[in-house]
Each structure stands twice: as structure tokens, then as C-alpha cells.
Structure 1
Amino acid sequence: MFERFTRGARAVVTGAVAHAERAGADAVAEEHLLLALFDQEDTKASFAFRSLGIADLRDSVESELAEARRRGGLSKADAEALAGLGIDVTEVVSRVEQAHGAGVLAGDQKDKGWWAGRRSFTREAKSALEKSLRIAVGRRDRAIGDEHILLALAARPGVVAEVLADHGASFTALERAMFPAA
């Protein structure tokens, strides 16, 4: 599959690994792919970010991703569903952090998880990359570009798609921005 990646898509994957390493993450996750997409310049994804007005909102995106990590990866929708059952996720997180330390649910424990010099990818990140292939094939594109990775992240349910949508970058909005004739 990676042989079909464009230079830009390969830069996203490499950038995601670098983000994971800087964060001390056990594995490369979807959020690292998103942050690496923000690093790209002169690509379809960067054009979409600029045209939708979220290119300048990176700090807000990072903040929401960090808050979701603090909640153990629960999306706002998950937290609201639990609130409907009478479970206050904020209270649970606070109590767990009081007992075990700040960020314990985020999994921000250094020096874990990778060997042979390479970080592994989470199941969700792998699935997003596989989805990018399906999106490219569905569009009859010969290569997988950063735009396909971005659409895959927006298409999959979860924190990253929720954060993108909260910033005005839903799958539909991104698709329109990157492929106006679609």
C-alpha cells in the first residue's frame, strides 16, 4: 500500500511518527496523523485547512485533542452519552488523576512500547491509512495523497473526526474544499 503513497502522504506518515516520538506516545495514533497534516504546506489538505479557516486554529485543535487524551480517548459524544447515564466523566478523570497522577488516562508514560527503532501504529491509525486507500480507489485516483488521509480521518468515527467537525472541517466540507467538482 505504501508504494502508492505520494511524497506528501509519506511526509504525513513520517511527520506523525515524529509527533508521536516528541509526545512520548507508545504508538502513532490518528491524532499524530492529523497534526502532521497541519505541518504540510502546498498540499490539498493544507489548502482545505486554509479555505475552511482552520489552518490558524491549530492550537485549538491540539487543545481539544489533549483534552480527549486526558479523558482516556473518549470523545465529547461518548462523555455526553455517559452523562446521560449519570456518569460524570470529568469527575471520574479528576478522581483517577488524584489517585494515580495527572495524565494517567492519557497513557503519557515515557519509555514504553517500541522496539527495533520504530514506533508501531495504533489499530485506529492503521485503519485510517487503509481507509485512505479505499477513498483513493473509490475516487479512481492512482496514488494515495495527503488529501485521502485527511478524508479518512474525517470519515472515521472518533475523537479526530469530532475535533475536525467542531472546527468546521467535516468530511463533506473537506471533500468540497479539496475536490470541488465532486
Structure 2
Amino acid sequence: MFERFTYEARIAVVGAQEVARARGARQITTTHLLVALLSPGAETTAAVTAAGGDVEALTRPGEHGELDSHALSAVGVDLEQVTARAEEVFGPGALARAGRSPKHLPFRREAKKALELALREAVRLQERTITGRHLLLGLIRAECDGRTALVGAGTDLPGLRAALEQPRAQSA
């Protein structure tokens, strides 16, 4: 399937791995793929913005990566104190070093499904290659965290889908 990916789509997949690694994740999720698709100047970024999505909110990394400091706080864990104590005992950046991801990160099941759906979207639209817009179409078609994030950021999914389905002026 990856042989049908355009350069843009391949860059998004590699970017998703980089985002996952930077956030200390052990697997690539649809949220990582979404962030990679929302690079400045990308067609997919413009489409999400036009559909009312808050791209800045979608791409902003959490202060502590994948950790939810509010949830930890609710159960009495002060993440700042834990971080300070870990650095005191193990040295600066101890938690960041501990969270480093392995060289190769696997795709989570929902991310694999979104990639499969991207292929189906390209076939449905009778296009030979898979581009970033097909990846985004697959992501919004899947029941996944990336889709939930888009909705949470105010994105009009039907409007986004309609914009992404429009034929492209250039053909590859």
C-alpha cells in the first residue's frame, strides 16, 4: 500500500512517528498522524482551518507530553513535584530520558485502520495515489482519537469532508 503514497503522504507518516517520539509515546496514534498532517502551508491544514478547526489547539503539545496533569492532580499527584524530585535524584531531564521511545514505533490499531481507510478513500475517489487529503479523509472516517480531537477543536467534519473530496486542479 505504501508504494501508492505520494511524497506528501510519506512525509506525514514519518512526521507522525516524529510527533509520537517527541511526545514520549510508545505507539503512533491517529492524533500523531493528525498533528503531522497539520504542518504549516499544507493543503490539509488549510482545509481544517476552513472547516472551522483550531489548528493551533490541535498541534499544541501538552506540557508533559501524553500525561494528563489535570487527571493526576485530581488524584493528588503534583506532577511538578514528581518532576522536581526525579531530577533531584536522577539528574536533569530524568523523566524525559525515561520516556524515550524505541527506534521503531508501531502503529496503534486505530492508526492502521485510518491508513487503510485512506486507501479506500483514494479508490472511492478514483485516484491512483494516496495524498495527505486521503489520509485526513481516512482519519475522519475512522472512529478514533484524531477524529475526536478535530471535533473538539471545532471542526465541521461534513464541511471538511466535502472540501477534501473536491477534485484537484493538478493531476499526478
TM-score, length of structure 1 as denominator length: 0.68
**In 2, are the aligned partners of 1:5 and 1:145 still within 8 Å (CA)?**
yes
Size of the aligned set, in residue pairs, is 151
1:25 equivalent in structure 2? 25
Match of 1:123 among 82, 99, 109: 109
What are the ranges of 5 or more consecutive residues in structure 1 without an aligned counterpart?
A: 72-89, 103-107
What are the ranges of 5 or more consecutive residues in structure 2 without an aligned counterpart?
A: 84-95, 168-172
1:138 equivalent in structure 2? 124
Aligned amino acid, residue 100 of structure 2 = D
Q: CA deviation at 1:152?
A: 1.3
Q: CA deviation at 1:136?
A: 1.0
Q: What is the RMSD of the two structures over their aligned residues, measured on CA atoms?
A: 3.1
Q: CA deviation at 1:180?
A: 3.9
1:94 equivalent in structure 2? 74
Q: CA deviation at 1:46?
A: 2.5
Which deviates the most, 163-172 or 133-142? Answer: 163-172
1:86 equivalent in structure 2? none
Q: CA deviation at 1:96?
A: 7.6
Separation in structure 2 between the aligned mates of residue 27 and residue 160 of structure 1, nearest angstrom: 14
Identity level (%): 30
TM-score, length of structure 2 as denominator length: 0.71
**In 1, are the aligned partners of 2:31 and 2:149 still within 8 Å (CA)?**
no
Higher-helix-fraction structure: 1
